[in-house]
């Protein structure tokens, strides 16, 4: 490693974790993923040159795949994507200063993984239900149907406001129902911001590995009850992005 190179930080792990030799990291060309150890904890890192652009979609994919793969075999605290430090000495200083906190968090995450349950409304079916439930919105829909946009601009704006508000209310209710249904099978749950205006739910769950099958079955049952209105996706197992102090790791 030259004096000008930096180290890209992926995550904090127990000190006995060993990355697979030859695992490529971010950047072009990518550096090999290695570890810097300090006491009971270590950091997954790879070398990056000063002029390396490490914000590409491919780099984010590499970062996530490494962390998710690590979480399948050992606890890991993800570090915010794009964090680069000066070198091994800076990493050791970080681990030395916050090692006790990191070790405690890693102990809490032992045998646990994250899942994300994401739902998106089917737009035509959602609009049909909104109009069925709201006579004022239905009247506006009748007024704009088949009419030029310029002539019915005001009505279209008001109709859009009705639908937008209905989505917000339904999203809040849907997320609460999702949390209530899955909370008994999860250690914790956390709301995530919507990724699309038609999102019905976007919730992260921390799950004990020995309850994963029960959790997945419960998600499938929840999704089946909403078939036709909401398209549900289950993402995971993942690293615990929503259940660690990752944003504070490199501060």
For residue 241, give the nearest of 115, 120, 117 by alpha carbon. Answer: 115
pTM above 0.85, yes or no: yes
For residue 46, give the nearest of 68, 65, 23 by alpha carbon. Answer: 23
Q: What is the predicted pLDDT for the residue at 137?
A: 87
Give the residue, 14 or 144, on which the prediction is more confident: 14
Do β-strands 6-14 and 188-191 pair in parallel, antiparallel, or remain unpaired? Answer: unpaired
Q: Could you tell me if 225 and 235 are in contact, meaning their C-beta atoms sit under 8 angstroms apart? A: no
Q: Could you tell me if 198 and 120 are in contact, meaning their C-beta atoms sit under 8 angstroms apart? A: yes
- 188-238: per-residue pLDDT in tens? 999 999 999 999 999 999 999 999 999 999 999 999 999 999 999 999 999
Give the residue, 125 or 248, on which the prediction is more confident: 125
8-state DSSP, 83: -
| Max CA pair span of the chain | 71
CB neighbourhood size of 143 (10 A):
16
Mean pLDDT of 154-168: 90
- Torsion over CA: 62, 68, 70, 75 (sign): positive
Instruction: Report residue 182 as tokens.
Output: 């899955």
Which pLDDT band, with edges at 50, 70 and 90, does 149 fall under? Answer: confident
CA–CA distance, 93 with 71 (Å, rounded to integer) = 24
Q: Could you tell me if 46 and 7 are in contact, meaning their C-beta atoms sit under 8 angstroms apart? A: yes
The rounded percent of the chain whose pLDDT value lies above 70 is 96
């Amino acid at each position: 490693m030259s004096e000008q190179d930096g180290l890209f930080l992926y995550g904090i792990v127990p000190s006995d974790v060993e990355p697979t030799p030859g695992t490529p990291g971010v950047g072009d060309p990518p550096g090999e993923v290695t570890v810097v150890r300090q006491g009971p904890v270590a950091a997954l890192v790879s070398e990056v040159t000063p002029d390396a652009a490490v914000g590409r979609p491919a780099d984010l994919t590499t970062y996530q795949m490494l962390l998710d793969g690590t979480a399948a075999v050992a606890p890991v605290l993800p570090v915010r994507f794009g964090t680069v430090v000066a070198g091994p000495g800076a990493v050791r200083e970080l681990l030395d200063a916050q090692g006790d906190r990191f070790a405690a968090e890693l102990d809490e995450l032992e045998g646990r993984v994250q899942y994300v349950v994401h739902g998106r409304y089917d737009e035509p079916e959602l609009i049909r239900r909104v109009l069925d439930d709201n006579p004022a919105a239905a009247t506006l829909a009748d007024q704009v149907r088949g009419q030029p946009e310029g002539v019915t601009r005001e009505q279209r704006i008001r109709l859009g406001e009705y639908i937008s508000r209905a989505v917000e209310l339904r999203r809040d209710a849907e997320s609460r129902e999702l949390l209530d249904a899955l909370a008994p099978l999860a250690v914790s749950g956390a709301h995530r911001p919507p990724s699309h205006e038609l999102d019905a739910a976007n919730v992260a769950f921390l799950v004990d590995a020995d309850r994963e099958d029960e959790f997945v079955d419960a998600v499938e049952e929840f999704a089946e009850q909403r078939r036709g209105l909401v398209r549900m996706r289950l993402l995971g197992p993942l690293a615990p992005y929503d259940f660690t102090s990752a944003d504070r790791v490199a501060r």
